[in-house]
Amino acid sequence: MEWHTSVPQRQSPPSMGLVERATDGLATLGSAFALVQVLAGSGPGGVGVSALCAELGMPRRTVYRYLNTLIGLGMVEMTGHQSYAYRLGPAVDELAQHSSRQREFLRRSTTHVNELARATGEVVHCTVFDQGSVVTVAVASGGSAAARGPEVAVVGTRRPAHTTASGKIFLSNQPRALDAYMTRELTARTPYTITGPDQLRAECTRTATNGFAVDNHEFAVGVCCLAVPVWGERQRIVGALSVSWGTTDEIRVPKDFLGAMKAAAREFSQSIGGEPK
């Protein structure tokens, strides 16, 4: 058999012009953020341009340029109390709300994962969907799992969606994400991994109908997994709870697991303002 080895081409270093533009861009971003921080520390009456110039050490023209850009983004607004005073805009409130929801999701995920691990005695994960991968954001191991269960994934572990029960939960409830996912190669992790597009679509249809997904030795031989969705506002899927256990048999959905998982997912969804289907 003849082997062909490709030699990687040596890349030229970026030109000084590109480096300088990137550096200038970062400096601009830093200056704009400094302006936002000054406004964040002001009262509801806002801050005038003269005070901003003095605080930031910037010329008036530059401050006006930043203000106009930030106003266009909704990050800054003019106050109605005095002329030419500025304060944080509605877009900052929206970002703060999103940040609060994300932190609350992570806090709640840890609570529900720990409780479910105690109830099932197995390994429990909470995952989110990111660019075709499921990412573990919380994990706990129950009593029996330590002796005979699967290896526990650490927080931050990424896995291809089609190889996991959690991934099927996300794909089955997001048609656009499923269509986009079908453009990639469905790589096999084990002899049982779904690698056919039609087969994956059929599996996602079953998952949506059943309200839960299964991993039948598809990510790792000797490990089966069950997953249920966590819902956010407007019945938008925001996460998944999964239970994994070690077995040499074909998966049989444990009804006691499924009941406990659905109850945990429903409580989780409601605690973050979600609307379970």
DSSP 91-145: HHHHHHHHHHHHHHHHHHHHHHHHHHHHHHSSEEEEEEEETTEEEEEEEEE-TTH
The neighbour count for residue 22, using CB atoms within 10 Å, is 11
Give the single-character DSSP code of 191: T
Is residue 4 predicted with pLDDT exceeding 80?
Answer: no
What structural domains and CATH numbers belong to the chain? 16-88 (1.10.10.10), 96-271 (3.30.450.40)
> pLDDT tens, 186-225?
999 999 999 999 999 999 999 999 999 999 999 999 888 9
pLDDT at 25: 61
pTM exceeding the 0.95 threshold for the entire prediction: no
Q: How confident is the model at residue 166 (pLDDT cuts 50, 70, 90)?
A: very high
- Summarize pLDDT for 22-41 with one digit per residue, the tens: 455 667 788 888 999 998 88
Q: Identify the three-state secondary structure at position 213.
A: strand
Mean pLDDT, the chain, whole residue set: 83
Q: How far apart are CA 60 and CA 142, in angstroms?
A: 61
